[in-house]
Every structure is written in C-alpha cells, then in structure tokens.
Chain A
C-alpha cells in the first residue's frame, strides 16, 4: 500500500503581473512510485504544477498562492529549496540553458558538490549514475559540443546523482529528435523500475503512452480529466483530436519505409520526384564543410571530391509553391543545409537558379528568408509594427497592417515583441518573413514545444504561404507537422540527399 508522496490541496496561484499559467483551486495527490503525465494546452497550468512540487513556487517565482503543498512529508512553503535538492529533481525543457558547468563530468557532480558531500562519495555516485545510464562515452567532453539529446542525457544524470525520490520533467522532449526521445523514454523507464515517483508535463505523447500509470488533462488552470494509463493508451485518434492533443502514434519519419504511397518496393533510395527544372528551384553545387584543415591557410572553395564534407549536394530541384519537410537525424546536416541555401554560410558557394535567373553569394540572402528555431534571436525592435517594417525596403504601413491582420496579430502592433507569448512571437517572425517577400522561406523547427493547437495553426500558415507562391522548406522532427502540411519530404543523410518524395 503506497502512501501519497505529493499532496496538492486546494491550491490557487496567479503569477505576479501575468494572467498566464494560473491555477484555480486545484487538488492533486500522487502515490509513491507512480508515473504521472500532465498534459493539456500551453498555459493550462502544467508547468505551474511542476513548480509547486519542486518548490520554485513560492521560493523563486513570485505570485499569490493559496492552499498547501506537501512533498515527502514536507510543507513546501516552509522548506527551503536547497533542502529539497535530495528529494525532488527536475529536468527542464531546454538542454542548453539548464547546465551550470562547461564540461560533462563537472555537470554530473554539480548537485552533490552543492550539498557538500564528501568527494569520494560524490565520485561513487557519479560512477553509479554513469554506468546505469551507459553514458561513458559522454564523459570528459565539453557540453557545448554535445547534441541536444546528449545534453538532455547529462541533465538526467545530473539530476539522478542527487538520488531524489521524485523526478519531475518539464517538456523534456522539446528539442530532441525521435532517436533521442526514445533514449529519454528508456531513461524514464529505468527510473520507474527504481521505484521513483515521476511527474511529466508534456505535449508529445507517443513515447509516454505505455509508461504512465495515470494521465491528468489540464484546461485553463483546472484539472479537467483524469484517466488511467491503460485507458488513455486505448483512446482512438478521434478522441485524441477532440482533446486537442498530439497523436498517440506517430510514424517513424526517418525510415523511408513510407506510408505506401509511392510505387517503389520498399527501397526508397532514389530521388523519386524530379520536378521539372523550369517550374522549380534548382540548387547547384552546394558543398560545405565545418572541418577545415588547420594547417592550410585558405581553402574556401569546396568541391565534389573533398572528403569530410558536411554538406554535399551537387544538384537538387525543389518544386515551387510547395511545402517541403526536411528531415534527418540531428547532426546530419539539416541546419547546415538550410543555412547554406539561404546564403548565411559565406563559404558555401552554391548557386540557386529559378525563373531563369541565377542567384549567387549575397543575392541568395535576398531571395530567401529563414525563420530560426529560437525566435528571440530575430526580434530587434520595440514594437511589432516596426519589426515587420524592418523587413521592408520601402516602408508601407498599409501592407504591414494587412500582413499582421492575416496572421491575427494586428491587435499587438504596438506591443513589444518580447512581451508576447511564444506562439505570438513566432507569428511576428513569420510576418517579417512575409514582409520581406522572399520567394524561398525556410523554417528551422518551428513546432518544438508547441501544443497541438498551435502546431495546427503553424501547419495551416505554412500551407497558406505555399499557396501564395512561396516555396517553403521546413526542417522538423515532428511527424505530426509533416502530416498536417507537407507536400514533399526531403531526407538528408550525412550531408547528402537521401531521398525526396511526395507525401
């Protein structure tokens, strides 16, 4: 008979100065050893509950709290955060901003060092955690060199090293590709087998549906539904869609074993669709490498025969006016591909040919526009309106307002872009892209960390952009997005073209 290890009693919470993420009279109990999934739309209060359990509310985030939270017998309001370190561990969403050290070893021992454990005991714990997770080959490396999935593994190790009884995960799969997500699932399974209590806040459901004991659905600050894990896993796609959740089953996008809608016999290694060059956008001679021979002073012109190319695409024709999903494992060159096409990598001297014109070098920057993964890097002004006008060569207020209206953000035109929510900021970035009138639009992971509702909206937007005559390339890990809006899928393997096929 396992007792309740977490008790949230009639808690209401409102963040200071914000209406988002609040809770209204919520009560929740979690049994020891249970694996619980919190899901629901963005802003429904999932992260707030996580923060109540690990103590960040009220000790770190300010707001109006009512009610009581008890974790492992401690009243959270009266317990200092550092006292909870050995009890509750939290894995956060963004792998790159949650680590304190620069190297992997330092990060794993960070927690135990903070609580003043004896160095020998710390090293024992480190060895234990490393061997449990099989991450020996990640030791002794700089965290800045690791992939997103590897960083998240180190984050899990770092949390494990404090040997907490409760582990919280706040949208941990947001920046990961499918392979890394599977590893994460394995990690959660291991923690479960160790008897830890696990609470996960997530949008992506496919990797959790067989792991969780109970599912809580939040809506506008209240717990709207509660199901057992088995019940939830047996929902049909219609029910899931009604709840505005992401699908329970997603195809493995990297296996070209397709959905059967091509006439190959399961060996899709060939460039299946070869659009007519006249009606398409031709990419020629895109060669690039990040590895440079250190003892050669200049070797900026890459060609086909170079070894170790990060990107090697002699010729590729993209269909115009279509949404093309770019897929591939992390690290195989998707981002490099996008950056080279739009001209951001100066040393990649590829040529784009379309409508009879050739675009080289800087001209490629004018032809294309890339919306980056982290929207915060591309907002420069203090109002949405001036942000969009920044992209225009000739300031045209009317056109700006039309664009803002079509994206549903006209009401925010005088607001500071950084005051908006994630989804709204992204629409501002897209508005800037539309104002720049680029024929070729590139999107780098636009739906990481978005709930189903927003993902649908993004998919819809991409389709509209393509219908207006732009060619849209979207690099993504989300099979749901591909299903929602992509006309073609382009797979990059090790910097080379794997295949391209119609969806």
Chain B
C-alpha cells in the first residue's frame, strides 16, 4: 500500500476535505441502515443510542487514524447538521451537533490525535449528535402535550401518551450515547487494529 503525505502545515487541504466527506457519507449510511430497523418497531428508535455508536465506531476509529489536524471532526459535525436539516430532521439539533463536534475535536487535539484515551472520550462526545434525532420528537411531544391539556384532556391521558418522551429522557439518552460511544471506540479500535493495521493501511 502506498502511503499518502501527511501535511506539515495545520491548514486543511483538499485531501482532508475529501476524507471528511467520505466518512460522513459512511456514517450516514450506518445511521440510515440502523434507522431502517427503527421502522420495524418504534421502541428501537431508542436503541439508536446503542446501535449507532457501536456500529459507527468502526468507520469512525478508522477516520480518527486519518485525523491529524484540527477542524476535520468539526467539519464533519457541520456536515451532519446540514444534511439533517436538508433531509427534514429540523435545525434544532444543529447547535448540539456542532457543539459536540467542536468539543470532540478539542479533546482529540489535546491528545495530539494520538492518545487512545482522548480518542475514546472524543468519540463519546461526538456521538451526542445522535440525540439530535430525538429533538424534534421531544419538542413537539411536549408542545403537543401542552396543547392537549389546554384542550381539556386529562393530565393522566397525556402522561400516558408521552410517557417515554420528555426532557428527562433526553438526558438519559445523552448519557447512553456517550457511554456506548466510549465502548464503541474500544471495540472499533480493536477492529481497526485487526484489519487495517495488519494490512498496513494505517
């Protein structure tokens, strides 16, 4: 395998932008594939926070081996936010996604993009983007519930309706994303080692 130049300057070059684009596409395919399973049973929607960090960890750990400069992870989160907006999943999640991306980038940078522990935490934070999928549901569910109570329906009815979906749930989901992100990073790293390092690409 021929090795590609790793740039000395810290400016992002065309090759870096292309790499970000490729892995963003892969992450979206992973999300889409897991999402398909969600249509079978809506409660699986909650398991996004488990499946996507784990399955997505494999490509992401490979991506992290190619990240040597600040900005790549941030740009990936910006792209995710843009694509989510254009595909109709709303813009409320954008601040969360981009903030998660920037923080993840900073964490990884503090480890000079080489420390595995920092990579693990970085990926855990990055995975918070997945919760942006839930934002529209939470916001609208809450507003919906309020409008129902306004309309005179019993509080019990409303509570039953949206038992699982409220602000507290989002908190739990965020934590789950992070935890499974870290776990995924460990698994992903092992897979990357088993294949890509052994094959000499990394």
Q: Is the CB of A17 within 8 A of B5?
A: no
> In the bound complex, what is the Cα–Cα distance between A418 and B2 (angstroms)?
12
A227 in the interface, Cβ–Cβ < 8 Å?
A: no
B200 in the interface, Cβ–Cβ < 8 Å?
A: yes
Supplied contacts A17-B200, A418-B1, 18 more A-B pairs, CB within 8 Å = A18-B2, A18-B3, A21-B2, A59-B5, A60-B4, A60-B5, A61-B2, A62-B4, A63-B3, A382-B195, A382-B198, A382-B199, A416-B200, A417-B199, A418-B199, A419-B1, A419-B198, A419-B199
B41 in the interface, Cβ–Cβ < 8 Å?
A: no
B148 in the interface, Cβ–Cβ < 8 Å?
A: no
Q: Of the candidates A61, A382, A417, A418, which one forms a contact with B3 in the assembled complex, judged by CB atoms under 8 Å apart?
A: A61
Q: Is the CB of A15 within 8 A of B199?
A: no
B110 in the interface, Cβ–Cβ < 8 Å?
A: no
> In the bound complex, what is the Cα–Cα distance between A282 and B199 (angstroms)?
42
Measured CB to CB, the nearest residue on chain A to B18 is: A100
| Residues of chain A with a CB closer than 8 A to B2's CB | 15, 18, 21, 61
Contact residues, B171-202 vs A (CB, 8 A): 194-195, 198-201
Which residue, A21, A416, A417, A419, has most C-beta atoms of chain B within 10 A? Answer: A416
Q: Is the CB of A61 within 8 A of B199?
A: no
A58 in the interface, Cβ–Cβ < 8 Å?
A: yes
Q: Of the candidates B1, B5, B198, which one forms a contact with A58 in the assembled complex, judged by CB atoms under 8 Å apart?
A: B5
| Residues of chain A with a CB closer than 8 A to B3's CB | 15-18, 61-63
Q: Is the CB of B4 within 8 A of A416?
A: no
Measured CB to CB, the nearest residue on chain B to A419 is: B199
| Residues of chain B with a CB closer than 8 A to A419's CB | 1, 198-200
Q: Is the CB of A418 within 8 A of B195?
A: yes
| Residues of chain B with a CB closer than 8 A to A16's CB | 3
Q: Of the candidates A61, A382, A417, which one forms a contact with B5 in the assembled complex, judged by CB atoms under 8 Å apart?
A: A61
Interface range for A: 10 to 19
Q: Knowing A17-B200, A418-B201, A419-B199, say if A382 contacts B194 (CB, 8 Å).
A: yes
Q: Which 9 A-B pairs have the closest CB atoms?
A: A418-B199, A416-B199, A416-B198, A16-B3, A419-B199, A62-B5, A62-B3, A419-B200, A15-B2
In the assembled complex, how far is the CB of residue A141 from the closest CB belonging to chain B, in whole angstroms?
22
For this complex, 25 residue pairs linking A to B, each with C-beta atoms less than 8 Å apart, are: A15-B2, A16-B3, A17-B1, A18-B2, A18-B3, A21-B2, A59-B5, A60-B5, A60-B15, A61-B2, A61-B4, A62-B3, A62-B5, A62-B6, A382-B194, A382-B195, A382-B198, A382-B199, A416-B195, A416-B198, A416-B199, A417-B199, A418-B199, A419-B199, A419-B200
Measured CB to CB, the nearest residue on chain A to B195 is: A382
> In the bound complex, what is the Cα–Cα distance between A129 and B202 (angstroms)?
40
> In the bound complex, what is the Cα–Cα distance between A335 and B15 (angstroms)?
34
In the assembled complex, how far is the CB of residue B24 from the closest CB belonging to chain A, in whole angstroms?
16
Measured CB to CB, the nearest residue on chain B to A100 is: B18
| Residues of chain A with a CB closer than 8 A to B4's CB | 60-62
Contact residues, B1-20 vs A (CB, 8 A): 1-6, 15
**Residues 44-70 of chain A, each 1 if its beta carbon lies under 8 Å from chain B, else 0:** 000000000000001111110000000
Measured CB to CB, the nearest residue on chain A to B194 is: A382
> In the bound complex, what is the Cα–Cα distance between A61 and B198 (angstroms)?
20
| Residues of chain A with a CB closer than 8 A to B200's CB | 17, 416, 419
In the assembled complex, how far is the CB of residue A213 from the closest CB belonging to chain B, in whole angstroms?
30
Contact residues, A4-29 vs B (CB, 8 A): 15-18, 21
| Residues of chain A with a CB closer than 8 A to B195's CB | 382, 416, 418
| Residues of chain B with a CB closer than 8 A to A382's CB | 194-195, 198-199
In the assembled complex, how far is the CB of residue B20 from the closest CB belonging to chain A, in whole angstroms?
15
> In the bound complex, what is the Cα–Cα distance between A49 and B60 (angstroms)?
35
> In the bound complex, what is the Cα–Cα distance between A385 and B46 (angstroms)?
40
> In the bound complex, what is the Cα–Cα distance between A419 and B15 (angstroms)?
23
In the assembled complex, how far is the CB of residue B18 from the closest CB belonging to chain A, in whole angstroms?
9
Contact residues, B40-89 vs A (CB, 8 A): none
Measured CB to CB, the nearest residue on chain B to A414 is: B198
In the assembled complex, how far is the CB of residue B176 from the closest CB belonging to chain A, in whole angstroms?
31
